[in-house]
Amino acid sequence: MFLRGAMRVQRKKALVASMISLLLGAVLVYHWKASDSSVLNVQQRLDSAMEKLIERNARHWENSYDDIPYHLKQTSVGSLARNGCMCEEDPQSIKVPLADLFFPRVSAQDLKLAFRPSKLAGVKQRRQQEYNDFRRRSQSAADLLIVAEPNSPLQYPTQGLEVQPKRSVLIPGLALKHKPRSLYSVNLTASMGIFNMAATVNEVQVSNEGKMHIALSSRALSALNRQLQFITYTNTIFHPNTADVVQFGTDGFQAAFTIKIRHEIPPKLYDPGPSAEYNISALVTIATKTFLRYDKLQDLIDSIRLFYPTVTIIIADDSEHTKPVTGPYIEHYIMPFGKGWFAGRNLAISQVTTKYVLWVDDDFIFTSNTRLEKMVEVLERTTLDLVGGAVREVTGYTATYRHTISIEDGGEEGDCLHIRRGFHHIIEGFPNCVVADAVINFFMARTEKVRQVGFDPRLVRVAHLEFFVDGLGSLHVGSCDDVIVNHASKIKGMLPWGQSETDKAYSKFRYPAASNIQNALFYFKNHLKCITSN
């Protein structure tokens, strides 16, 4: 008897589930009538919705607990964000020769000094305008902190709800948990879409279906909650990547949640080939930038061919009088004379067709320790986007240049960039590899991620850290000290009596007179006011 009853209940549940699936399918294939074409200020709509939400939250929290005393824990205060960052350097406590070499201290740079005082005011004004525009482009309602207030009878999704532009989605989690009363009612309001129902429930009255504001009421709470399970949201104002703030309310209570509106980002996949092992030639392209130093470039190519005879090498060349660089699997691209270091990186990487790109300087030398397979393995088995190696100097010293980077809010004057030696943690399964924010100028990376960050072509001869600052927050960076490339000796070329004419010409361009271009870019482009480092 009990078994037959249970089976009847199961059949009813299956029937209901089938009906719901059919209704939801109808919603997804149904083409909602497009709204009339018009010119709309989407940002203004978003700003208005955000301002209302912020104002409501401010009213709710203002002076709520001002009369309650509190005691700060000094151990925690230092880790909290302050109203404005400070650019402070460590005092020199030990005044002996080479003290900074053995006891490195934090230094600080005031980036405003990159500009003449007469020009600084204009630069600051332009920077502020560009920064405001950037904030408007990059921020949306999804960036707001929305807290579901305690003891509210409203249940709603707080994160994770998305819809594609001009498409529909079922809103999960809507419910009302109210004390017994004669009539229950809720309402929803949007600014970039409309509400509909995938199914109707008896005993529930609905008004304004198909509008930006919908109201529902019922004398039965269970019926109202059942109806809320079928509420759909349809985006009607196109934007490829934004969010709508939905207001959800009942008598005496108001809440808000966001629906992200964005296209599904299509993947860009690379075919590694049928080999069971890592096929380096199919997975990796080696890219470099050269200027005048064809002898060192040829040494690099010869060393690569000893270990990787079929890996493609892409060369960007901005020498004044170029020489042909030929051979199997070599692509040589000629640039305008003196176009620059980062411009050459952009050109070389723009021609890469493999999943990964290995960046090397033109005066590096491959050895048996330059194991690209290890870098590929790390990238394949982790979420890292870029992994650096180590560079061994002729003196025997091996450098990895592992640094952490952070940006601290500094208000209208600009933010503070903090650079520190070190790393975040060791990578599980790879004891010689760590996670950092900036690594040495010998790295393998996912090609698409490097292109996404890009290299600022205004940085002509001296640049490195700038790429990692631009990639902060989008690049997941690692470093392995057991993948080593040798650095060709610079001693002969640095001595005046040992320099060739090529060495002299190279030094003239490679080591120009002091320039403030890096600091000027940090100040304006990255909205920074200073850099601290050790």
pLDDT at 499: 63
- Residue 434's identity, in one-letter code, is V
In-domain check, residue 136: no
Highest mean pLDDT among 18-32, 43-57, 303-317, 476-490: 303-317
Q: What is the pTM of this model?
A: 0.80
Do 211 and 322 lie in a common domain? no
Mean pLDDT of 108-115: 91
Do 257 and 287 lie in a common domain? no
Do 216 and 292 lie in a common domain? no
Cα distance between residue 472 and residue 264, in whole Å: 23
pLDDT at 88: 86
Give the pair of three-digit tokens for residue 235: 């985006």
pLDDT at 254: 92
pLDDT of 123 over the 70 cut: yes
Q: What is the pLDDT of residues 412-426, one digit of tens each?
A: 999 999 999 999 999
Report the SS3 class of residue 188. strand
How sure is the predictor about 106, in pLDDT bands with cuts at 50, 70 and 90? confident
pLDDT at 67: 65
How sure is the predictor about 471, in pLDDT bands with cuts at 50, 70 and 90? very high
The strand pairing partners of 235, in sequence order, are 193
Range of the domain at 176: 142-262
The strand pairing partners of 414, in sequence order, are none
In-domain check, residue 54: no
Q: What is the pLDDT of residues 43-82, one digit of tens each?
A: 555 566 656 655 655 554 455 556 666 566 565 555 555 5
Percent of the chain with pLDDT over 90: 61
In-domain check, residue 133: no
Instruction: Determine contact, residues 421/403, Cβ cutoff 8 Å.
Output: yes
Mean pLDDT of 428-451: 96
Give the pair of three-digit tokens for residue 67: 């009369």
Cα distance between residue 95 and residue 107, in whole Å: 16
Do 348 and 466 lie in a common domain? yes
Do 306 and 258 lie in a common domain? no
Highest mean pLDDT among 52-56, 61-65, 105-109, 515-519: 105-109
Do 399 and 490 lie in a common domain? yes
In-domain check, residue 137: no
Do 237 and 291 lie in a common domain? no
pLDDT at 505: 64
Do 217 and 343 lie in a common domain? no
pLDDT of 433 over the 50 cut: yes
Do 348 and 470 lie in a common domain? yes
pLDDT at 361: 95
Instruction: Determine contact, residues 403/419, Cβ cutoff 8 Å.
Output: yes
- Residue 369's identity, in one-letter code, is N
pLDDT at 440: 96
Cα distance between residue 417 and residue 522, in whole Å: 9
Parallel, antiparallel or unpaired: strands 241-250 and 253-262 = antiparallel
* CATH number reported for the structural domain that contains residue 492 in this entry: 3.90.550.10
Do 376 and 508 lie in a common domain? yes
Cα distance between residue 312 and residue 305, in whole Å: 10
Q: Is residue 338 left, alpha or beta, with left meaning phi > 0 and alpha meaning psi from -120 to 50?
A: left
Last residue of a domain, one of 262, 297, 318: 262
Mean pLDDT of 119-144: 85
Q: What is the pLDDT of residues 258-313, one digit of tens each?
A: 999 999 888 888 887 776 678 999 999 999 999 988 999 999 999 999 999 999 99
What are the Cα distances from residue 40, in Å, to 46, 134, 192, 213, 403?
A: 11, 20, 11, 19, 45
Instruction: Determine contact, residues 137/241, Cβ cutoff 8 Å.
Output: no
Length of the chain: 534
In-domain check, residue 199: yes
The number of domains in the chain is: 2
**438: which DSSP letter?**
B
How sure is the predictor about 32, in pLDDT bands with cuts at 50, 70 and 90? very low
Instruction: Determine contact, residues 164/262, Cβ cutoff 8 Å.
Output: yes
pLDDT at 58: 53
Cα distance between residue 112 and residue 409, in whole Å: 17
pLDDT of 118 over the 50 cut: yes
* CATH number reported for the structural domain that contains residue 254 in this entry: 2.60.40
Last residue of a domain, one of 211, 230, 262: 262
Instruction: Determine contact, residues 216/206, Cβ cutoff 8 Å.
Output: yes
Mean pLDDT of all residues belonging to the chain: 84
In the numeric block, the tokens 């419910």 are attached to 175
In-domain check, residue 361: yes
Mean pLDDT of 428-435: 95
Q: Exposure of 379 by Cβ count < 10 A (0-12 exposed, 13-18 middle, 19+ buried)? A: buried
Strand ranges (E), 277-414? 284-290, 313-317, 330-334, 356-359, 364-365, 386-392, 398-399, 403-408
Percent of the chain with pLDDT over 70: 78
In-domain check, residue 66: no
In the numeric block, the tokens 């409203």 are attached to 154
Last residue of a domain, one of 206, 236, 262: 262
Q: How many CB atoms lie within 10 A of CB 199?
A: 17
Do 159 and 234 lie in a common domain? yes
Do 161 and 230 lie in a common domain? yes
Cα distance between residue 461 and residue 343, in whole Å: 10
